[in-house]
Amino acid sequence: MTLDGDRVLEVHDRGSVVLPAKYLIEIVQKLSGFIDIKLNANHSVTIKSAEIITDLNGFKSGEYPDLPLMDDAACIEVSREGLQEIIKQTAFAVSKSGSRPVLTGINMIFKENLLSCVATNAHRLASSELTIEAKVTGSFIVPSKSLNELSKLLMDEEECVHIFISKSYVRFKSKHGSLFTRLIEGSYPNVLESLPIDLKTTIFLDTGQLLRGVDRACLFARDCRNNNVHLEVLDNMKLRISSNSTERGKIEELQNIKDIKGEGEVTVSLDGYFLLDALKVIKEKDVKLSFGGAMKPVLTEPVNGSSQLHLISPVRSS
């Protein structure tokens, strides 16, 4: 077998066995040079590299479950770079708690020529869209851990990823392999309906500068229950970013507002790490923050008409 012109695998005899993945990965990572693998009669495998010999016990391949059958005709083709980017822009916002399993996944919605990904933990929301050529329509909840692993496995030279979906599984097929994962059962909440429509103030800021300011404020915010970072618009010109800790101290800074629309007085407290996560995945130079009031969610978007958006619920000041 060759990969990009390089010989990477030579098979002398056919056979199959099931090996514990954790030990196999760690063994291979600690070896260098060519590796010889031999399947023994007792379902163990001998792995040899130079003068290093390892015997790893395995199981009969018949005990391994069959891969799910997929309809290859129902295929969705997505660009590798676009898929990796939309996963990055949303996966961080899923719930880390298993109390609501559907919120631990990403809601992938396929429509004609459009893929939408939505993630939320009920306190923040991340959404992004990608133009595609879709032969399948529907809404599916895919485990975020599987999508994060997929993003790591995809290689730069791959141009596209083919997606196949059945009732219970989804398969991502790339140039170098396939990843199968079971879909999460249940109905995903229609969170996009919760987007605020009564926004009173929108401010425009430098993304990198705002990110660094929020990052500094998080130094003291992490001592608070909700990682409180306070945002306050002053005189239609400045944004004050602050946080304080009774035990550690406080921090405050002013940043220039590039433009403002609507009312000029805004004061809100957010989980600083939620805002930080959102800003980290916005590539555009400028960002806009839209406010509906002190206890209304804050909408964060890049300033280029992008479909990417983030919604963060406020927290009570401490």
Q: Which run of H or of E encompasses 80? A: helix 80-90
- The angle that helices 144-153 and 80-90 make with each other, rounded to 10 degrees, is 140
Beta strands 309-312 and 298-302 are antiparallel
List all residues 6 or more positions away from 293 whose beta carbon is below 8 Å from its beta carbon.
200, 268
- Domain boundaries, given as residue ranges, for the chain: 2-63, 75-192, 195-312
Coil vs helix vs strand at 147: helix
Distance CA 194, CA 262 (A): 21
Higher model confidence: residue 302 or residue 307? 302
* pTM of the predicted structure, to 2 decimals: 0.85
Q: What is the dihedral of CA 118, 119, 121, 124, to 10 degrees?
A: -70
Q: Which run of H or of E encompasses 274? A: helix 272-280
Could you name the CATH architecture of 75-192?
Answer: Roll (3.10)
User: In one letter, which amino acid is 292?
Assistant: G
The Cα diameter of the chain in Å comes to 79
In this predicted structure, the answer to whether residue 225 has a pLDDT above a threshold of 80 is no
Q: Which run of H or of E encompasses 142? A: strand 138-143
Tokens read off for 76: 């969705």
Higher model confidence: residue 75 or residue 109? 109
Q: Class for domain 195-312, per CATH?
A: alpha beta
The reported pLDDT for the residue numbered 301 is 95
In this predicted structure, the answer to whether residue 3 has a pLDDT above a threshold of 70 is no
Q: 98-125: per-residue pLDDT in tens?
A: 899 999 999 999 988 899 999 999 999 9
- For residue 277, give the nearest of 241, 232, 311 by alpha carbon: 311
